[in-house]
Structure 1
Amino acid sequence: MILVENVHKVYPDGTRALKGVSFRIEKGEFVGLMGPSGSGKSTLLHIIAGLDKPTEGRVLVDGKDITRMNEDQLAEFRKNNIAFIFQFYYLLEDFTALENLVLIGQLAGQREPKKRALELLNFLRLSHRANHKPYQLSGGEQQRTAIGRALMLKPKLILADEPTGNLDLEEGKRIFELFLELRDKEGITFLIATHNQEMTKYFDRVLRIRDGLLEN
């Protein structure tokens, strides 16, 4: 599902965020990405998501070289293949949980987005909160809503950057168990950046990055 080959990232100020990173992740794997702050985790996730370009090297997602795509091609590819889950939920505050999901389907031209959204909220155990706005939801409920939004277009790959960083340990465990259920049910591949050592038990394997390099 993911092939990263000799990826470097140098920012205009000369900062070398990535220094020749290479690895592969097979379809259906549940993989952790761990390392200290500033190690390159977020940069790497953004490049795999097509939100940033490497200075050197290439990234293939589901066999497609995304580093050769223009912005329009990337946007279309992301829509059909990749979802990104952030530490901060970025829900639309004036919209209910249901509306936050439906909007994504509508923007993508999805048929019956409300039906899909209601199915997801039921799966996420949020049916009873469908008509609540974000400020009325707990942190865990907001993150589950954000997960539902990410699932609206049936992605093959989910990239998550510290998705439990704002949650307590028990709620974080529930989120990871939900991710595993999704992997088993829908065959989604996951790459999850986290600082939390407690979560390593959930991963098939862990990639560890430090100073822009993967550790052996």
Structure 2
Amino acid sequence: MILVENLSKVYPDGTKALKGVSFKVAKGEFLGLMGPSGSGKSTLLHMIAGLEKPTTGRVFVEGIEITAMDEDQLSEFRKNNIAFIFQFYYLLEDFSVLENLTIVGELAGQKEPKKKALEVLEFLRLSHRKNHKPYQLSGGEQQRTAIGRALMLEPKIILADEPTGNLDLEEGKKIFELFLELRKQNGITFIVATHNQEMKNYFDRILRLKDGVLEN
């Protein structure tokens, strides 16, 4: 599903965020990316999503080299294949939960975005919160809303960067169980970056990063 070849990233200030990282991810795999803060986890996820360009190396998704695409091609490719979930929810504060999801569907040109949003909220057990604003939700509910926004595009791959970083352990476990349910129902491939050791048993496999290098 995903092939990462010899990725490196050197920022203008000389910081070496990644140093020759290579690995494969199978379709439907639930892969953990672990390591201390500053180890390169976020940079790696951004490159797999096409949000950043590597200094060297290549990324293939289903045999297509996304590192060779321009911004317009990447945007279209992401819309049809990849969703990104951040630690911070980035919800639109002036809009309801339902509106936050519907807007995504509208921007993607879906025929019935509101209907799709209601179906996603039902799956996420958030229907009773559909008319609430983000500030009226718990942290777990806000993160589930952010996940719902990602699901509006029916992605094949979900990349999540510290998705439980602002949640307590119990809420964090609920998010991981939701990810596994999505993998089971929809065959979504997940790469989840976390430094929370409590979550390691959820993963099929764990890659560990330290100072931009994959540890054996």
Question: Structure 2: how far apart are the matches of 1:148 and 1:202?
Answer: 21
Shift of residue 145 of structure 1? 0.2
Partner residue in 2 for 1:124: 124
Instruction: Tell me, yes or no, if structure 1 residue 49 matches structure 2 residue 49.
Output: yes
Q: 1:63 deviation in Å?
A: 1.4
Written as runs of structure 1 = structure 2, the 5 A alignment for 1:36-185 is 36-185=36-185
Shift of residue 178 of structure 1? 0.3
Partner of 1:204: 204
SS of residue paired to 1:143: helix
Deviations 1:135-173 (A, max 9, x none): 000000000000000000100000000000000000000
Measured after TM superposition, the shift of residue 39 of structure 1 is 0.4
Once the 2 structures are TM-superposed, how far is the Cα of residue 203 of structure 1 from its aligned partner?
Answer: 0.2
> What amino acid is the match of 2:38?
G
Structure 2 residue runs of 5 or longer lacking an equivalent are none
After superposition, give the CA deviation of every residue in 1:115-151 in whole Å (9 maximum; x if it has no partner). 1100010000000000000000000000000000000
Question: What's 2:2 paired with?
Answer: 2
Separation of aligned partners in 1, 2:42 and 2:66: 17
Amino acid in structure 2 at the alignment position of 1:188:
I
Aligned counterparts of 2:202 and 2:40: Cα–Cα separation in 1: 22
Once residues 107 and 203 of structure 1 are traced to their aligned partners in structure 2, the CA distance between those partners, rounded to angstroms, is 33
What amino acid is aligned across from residue 43 of structure 1 in structure 2? T
Aligned residues: 216
Moved over 2 A (4+): none
1:144 and 1:76 map into 2 onto residues whose CA distance is 25
Structure 1 counterpart of 2:52, one-letter code: D
Q: Which amino acid aligns with 1:85?
A: I
**Aligned with 2:155: secondary structure?**
coil
Q: Which runs of 5+ in 1 are unaligned?
A: none
SS at match of 1:58: strand
Q: Quote the Cα distance in structure 2 between the aligned partners of 1:171 and 1:38.
A: 25
SS at match of 2:88: coil
TM-score (norm 2): 0.99
Matched letter for residue 102 of structure 2: V
| Offset, 1:80 | 0.4
Task: Give the letter aligned to residue 102 of structure 1.
Answer: T
TM-score (norm: length of structure 1): 0.99
Distance 1:137 1:114 in 2: 20
Once the two structures are TM-superposed, the CA of residue 62 in structure 1 deviates from its matched residue by 1.7
3-state SS of 1:72 partner: helix
- Aligned equivalents of 1:144 and 1:211: distance in 2? 31
> Partners of 1:156 and 1:199 in 2: how far apart?
22
Identical-pair percentage: 81
Q: What SS does structure 2 have at the residue aligned with 1:208?
A: strand
Amino acid of the residue matched to residue 36 of structure 1? P
| Cα deviations by residue, 1:92-113 (Å, 9 ceiling, x for unpaired) | 0000000000000001101101
Equivalents in 2 of 1:64, 1:138: separation in Å?
39
Write the distance in 2 (CA, Å) between the matches of 1:115 and 1:63: 33
Q: In the alignment, residue 187 of structure 2 is paired with which amino acid?
A: G
